Structure 1
Amino acid sequence: MAPNDSVETNGGTRGTAVGRRKAARYIVPVAVAGVAAATIGLVPALASTGDPDLPKITAQQLIEKIAASDAQQFSGTVKISTDLGIPSLGGLAGSFAQGGGSGKGDSGADPQKKMTELTSGTHTLRVAADGPDKQRVSILDSAAEYSLIRNGDQVWAYDSGSNEAYHATEDGSGKKAGHPAPESVPTTPKALAEQVLKAAGPTTSVTVDGTARVAGRDAYKLVVKPRQSGSTIGSFTVAVDAKNGVPLKFTLLASSGGKAVVDAGFTKVDFGKPAASSFTFTPPKGTKVTEADDAKAQRKTDGDKGPGMFPGAEGLGAGGLGAGAEGGKDTKVIGEGWNAIAEIRTPGGIGLPSKASGDVPAEAQQFLDALGDKVSGKFGSGTVFKTRLVNALMTDDGKVYVGAVTPDALVKAANDAA
């Protein structure tokens, strides 16, 4: 099928906030990891076996089909491959997300730590959902399985490798104690595809570019591209189920070329009702169980940042990349659209910790050194942290410039602001 109509949609913006003094020292690598984790989530499907002949559809009609999709029951297997051009994070990014280090309140089943492992390498997930109150995401590897389960107001995470569990209970307002439930984890196709579409606006091209056969189902290919030059993002391609409008496959390409930054999709999918047993969990005998409230209280006692969004990463997910961010009192946005750069002032003008300061664990310093390049200009000096998708400049006087733009664009923004 030849490409057809293009369409522009209204964009949205999200705010960026800065955490506490201690957490702020790690704002750049954590923000980068946060963006990666959020982007991965546009779940989808691999396995393509020919292009079906489907009725023509416009981009606007396909977007409306996604928005109107009411498929709330499904189960299947998802394969995610990520190449951000950064070292394997493992549990390190999760350690940053908690404000650095580990404490008595830490758990081997902590969702914040485990889910950041998806920001590098190739992973297989088993997913299931039965309406808004029952979801399950399991990360499979050769030696163990990690599962995050929501059943009503109960949220469990279990790591079979360490035999540890993490438990949270939803309060009366619908807010979970501790970490988010599976439906807010970046592995849900529809929610994350919608985030990309929210980033679309006058600076974005959205087209239908043919069809595909994905996980045994007919699909249309929706392609989202920046109209502006200078962005690190080349394009997003979302394969949308022709029958029910559910995104089945997601591919993110960098403007610099090369293999996909993120290639994720269902290898198998079933839109029938999953077995009720998928959403039940009882800790096996001998499991170490950490209660979210207890972990939060312990972190407060230890003086660490409690679980939650990465400091400096809010608003930098898939939906925030193209649309910029709403600035708080310590944040402002330079430019617009896909070239928007968030300027963040850290509390007290704190720059990066140095080796000499003794504030940085050896593992963290290795991570910083692998990502960062020293730069200087009218603004002074600082360090640029690079990935294939998001780049960030942290100046020595405690300002952060971050966006899906080239390092040169960040240096220019810093010089212009000096």
Structure 2
Amino acid sequence: MAPYESDDDTNEELRTGRRKAARYVVPVAVMGLAAATIGLVPAFAGSGDPDLPEITAEQLIEKIAASDVQQLSGTVKVSTNLGLPDLGGLESSFAPGGGAGGSEDEGSSADPSTKLMELASGTHTLRVAADGPDKHKVSLLDKAAEYSLIHNGDEVWAYDSASNEAFHMKDASGAAEDKGKKEEAPKDVPTTPKGMADEALKAVDDTTSVTVDGTAQVAGRDAYKLVIKPKQSGSTVGQISIAVDSKTGMPLKFTLTPASGGAAVVDAGFTKVDFSKPDASTFDFSPPKGAKVTEGDEAKSEDQALPKAEEDLGHGLEGFDGLKTIGEGWTTIARFDTGGEGIPSASGDAGSFLDSLGTKVNGEFGSGTVFSTRLVNALITDDGQVYAGAVTKDALVKAANAAK
């Protein structure tokens, strides 16, 4: 199938489809596995490209928007390659109960907030199930253990078999009288290809090229391939590829490739999927005998509470005073003032470690340090200004110079 390129005349249709798509998030993407939103990747499964009727980019976006899959079960393979530096195990010290001086009273290993970091790198297998808006299960499978998040009605459980610990909370989203008293389990967290596709479609505007680039087979199902690319230069995003099920319109695979090339930064795809109703027992859970149970409202601090998806994914920087954005579309840069003096100086091993994580830069703005991943870069100037975005180092320096 020949690629179909969108043009300026179709942008309003694309935006309409995008807005509709944002309302149809598959309920499998539930609870605190939000870290998977930045990266997941197995290769397309199957041999040969299926012969499907031609479809335009607008029609395929509308197909995604109209998809309303409520029941499914399956396996998702997740790979993340952000190019983060090896911290030598230091990251564990920031988890509740971890690091030097930590104790088992400082948190629960079953608390979802302690599991998010695991999805920020490497390859993982998730087993997922959904039955309507109030029954979901996501299990992170390890070599010798399993971590599960179960949402069943107004009950939310998380269980870590490795430590035999459970975390329990009430989903107060449907009970107005309980709001503000109990933690609310977030919905619409993009941990599946569908959730990620909805987030990507929000970026479709005049700065974006959208095409249909042939077909593929994913998890034994025929799919169209929707490709989204920035039209602007300076973005670290190369392209986003979404495999869309030809029957249901549900995205089966999501791949984000960096402009620098190489392995995908984010890639998530079903390796198995079944759209029949899961057995009701799938969503039943009772803590095993002897398991340590932590109640969500007993968390030691707000930092240990299950984060709200919207705050995590869309509003993570709103707490900074004077947050501003520079540019538009894929090259948008967030700018804010830390109120400090940039990166503190250090000597010896500590100084060498900090230097190894960043690159010193100079410009009309003065001097600073750029910290980079394969997708997001951040410039912290010596006077405490921060510029961050999915843009190149040169774009950050240019923005800092222009701000002076």
Match of 1:340 among 322, 328, 332: 332
Map 1:9-408; keep pairs closer than 5 Å. Answer: 9-10=14-15, 37-40=36-39, 46-87=44-85, 104-171=105-172, 172-173=175-176, 177-178=182-183, 180-181=185-186, 183-295=187-299, 298-299=300-301, 307-308=306-307, 314-315=313-314, 330-346=322-338, 348-349=339-340, 351-352=342-343, 355=346, 371-408=357-394
CA change 1:59–1:88 in 2 (3 A) is farther
Task: From the CA coordinates, give the structure whose radius of gyration is larger.
Answer: 2
Q: CA deviation at 1:307?
A: 4.9
TM-fit CA distance, 1:343? 0.4
Which residue type is aligned with residue 343 of structure 1?
Answer: R
Kindly indicate whether structure 1 or structure 2 has the higher relative contact order, using CA contacts under 8 Å at least 6 residues apart.
1
- Percent of matched pairs sharing the same residue: 64
Cα displacement (A) at 1:188:
2.6
Please state how far the C-alpha of 1:112 moved relative to its aligned partner.
Answer: 1.9
Greater shift, 225-234 or 283-292, is seen at: 283-292
After superposition, give the CA deviation of every residue in 1:290-309 in whole Å (9 maximum; x if it has no partner).
111110xx226xxx675536
**Cα deviation, residue 349, structure 1:** 3.2
Aligned partners of 1:354, 1:391: CA distance in 2, in Å?
Answer: 21
Q: Work out whether residues 46 and 79 of structure 1, in 8 Å CA contact, stay in contact via their aligned partners in 2.
A: no
Using the alignment, how far apart are the partners of 1:87 and 1:81 within structure 2?
17
Distance in 2 (CA, whole Å) between partners of 1:369 and 1:207 is 42
- Residue 15 (structure 1) aligns with: none
- TM-score under structure 1 normalisation? 0.80
Offset at 1:45? 7.6
- Asked if the contact 1:126/1:139 (under 8 Å) is kept, the reply is yes
Question: Residues 179-232 of structure 1: CA distance to partner in whole angstroms, max 9, x if unpaired?
Answer: 745x54431332321110011100001111101111111100000000111110
Amino acid aligned to 1:114: K
In the alignment, structure 2 segments of 5+ residues that lack a partner are: 20-32
Quick one: distance in 2 between partners of 1:152 and 1:125?
Answer: 22
* 1:35–1:390 Cα contact (<8 Å) kept: no
Question: How far has the Cα of 1:47 moved from its partner?
Answer: 1.3
Q: TM-score, normalised by structure 2?
A: 0.82
Query: CA–CA distance in 1 between the matches of 2:45 and 2:362?
Result: 46
Cα distance in 2 between the residues matched to 1:269 and 1:96: 36
Q: Which runs of 5+ in 1 are unaligned?
A: 13-33, 318-324, 357-361
The count of aligned residue pairs is: 376
CA-based RMSD of the aligned residues comes to 3.4
What does residue 415 of structure 1 align with?
401
Counterpart-to-counterpart distance in 2, 1:278 and 1:291 = 22
Most deviating of 307-316 and 183-192: 307-316
